[in-house]
Amino acid sequence: MKNLWWSWVAGLLLAGCTENPPLEGYVKNEAGWWHQLHAFDERSGKVTPGEYLQFSMEIYTLQGDLIRKGGSGEAHSLITHRYNPSAGHADLETVLGDFFEGDSASVLLHDTALKKFGGACKIQGTDRAALLKVHFKIHAIYDEAAYLRMQQGEAWALEQREINEQVVLFNYLWAEGIDSSCYFDGVYVVPISKSNGMKPKAMEYLRISYRGHPLGDTTVVDDSGKQEAVFDFQLGRPNIVIKGLETGLYHIKEHQKARIIIPSQLAFGARGVKGLVPAYTTMIYEVELHNIKKE
């Protein structure tokens, strides 16, 4: 690490004499890419081919506008990647291999250098040939065995969450006096009000209002709008509401209010919703079916 530190200092001195950096405080290394070291750590060595990097990444324009966090399509900020650099390519993977576990730095790279991580942006108006600022921190390096242990630990934790959901749901149903007479196709539908209306059929148009929250947490995370605004949709049309809510609506009468209890497999599943709904969480929806229209 000391050698890297002294090469960074030497690069800073040399860069000041030879070439102006695109951004103040950046220096160019022998490979030709500009970087700025924020923090360094001597806990471990560099990653070697076949090992796994766990790192966080943020991509900015040179003007400081955030383009993306994390990897392609990832909701979280940590990326786990098997290190397999391509010889002769100055991409982000090659850059990461020059730093140590615990290091934090920013580098200036073109979008093509981020190809293995989904590219930078695909944002309208962004010049793919322009330099981008990539800030990263290497959180951990795992060999094959450690990586497999980590995966097994994550799988075990998810399994425990799934078991815990079943226990919490059972206790809730017992405490509320909800039995199998309220069970329909994977959800529980508990009437709040009475109605002589008809139940809806597939492809009919419904006007509903609803509020949904995780079991054990009264924070509303899904609703039809502010102040119980109504929501119109066609029952059975895919990807409009979560599956469990749609299932429960078949068992509510027109002009009726009901509570729908939805296990995670018909709600937000093993992924949950970041910052709102943990993995394997039962959802509670209070729903009112205002009216049914044929079309």
Quickly state the pLDDT bin for 23 (edges 50, 70, 90): confident
Q: What is the pLDDT of residue 47?
A: 87
Residue type, 3: N
Cα separation, 292 vs 295, in Å, equals 9
Cα separation, 260 vs 215, in Å, equals 11
Of the candidates 207, 188, 187, the residue with the CA atom closest to the CA atom of residue 197 = 207
Q: What is the average per-residue pLDDT within 276-288? A: 94
Quickly state the pLDDT bin for 121 (edges 50, 70, 90): very low
Average pLDDT, the chain: 82
pLDDT tens profile 227-280: 667 889 899 988 889 999 999 999 999 999 999 999 999 999 988 888 889 889
Give the 3-state DSSP-derived string for the chain, with helices as H, strands as E and coil as C. CHHHHHHHHHHHHHHHHHCCCCCCCCEECCCCCEEEEEECCCCCCECCCCCEEEEEEEEEECCCCEEEECCCCCCCCEEEEECCCCCCCCCHHHHHCCCECCCEEEEEEEHHHHHHHCCCCCCCCCCCCCEEEEEEEEEEEECHHHHHHHHHHHHHHHHHHHHHHHHHHHHHHHHHCCCHHHEECCEEEEECCCCCCCCCCCCCEEEEEEEEEECCCCCCCEECCHHHCCEEEECCCCCCCCHHHHHHHCCCCCCEEEEEEECHHHCCCCCCECCCECCCCCEEEEEEEEEEECC
Residue 24 pLDDT exceeds 90: no
Q: Of 120-134, 142-156, 219-233, 265-279, which has the strongest mean pLDDT?
A: 265-279
Quickly state the pLDDT bin for 14 (edges 50, 70, 90): very low
* Domains, in order of start, for the chain: 2-142 (3.10.50.40), 177-293 (3.10.50.40)
Cα separation, 245 vs 88, in Å, equals 53
Cα separation, 255 vs 208, in Å, equals 9
Q: What is the pLDDT of residue 76?
A: 47
Q: What is the pLDDT of residue 129?
A: 64
Q: What is the pLDDT of residue 72?
A: 42
Residue 188 pLDDT exceeds 90: yes
Global pTM reads: 0.53
- Contact at 8 Å (CB) between 283 and 244? yes
Percent of the chain with pLDDT over 90: 34
pLDDT tens profile 54-106: 888 888 888 888 887 765 444 446 788 888 887 656 688 888 888 888 888 99
Higher pLDDT, 72 or 167: 167
Residue 31 pLDDT exceeds 80: no
Of the candidates 294, 204, 201, 289, the residue with the CA atom closest to the CA atom of residue 252 = 289
Q: What is the pLDDT of residue 219?
A: 92
Cα separation, 26 vs 24, in Å, equals 6
Cα separation, 282 vs 260, in Å, equals 10
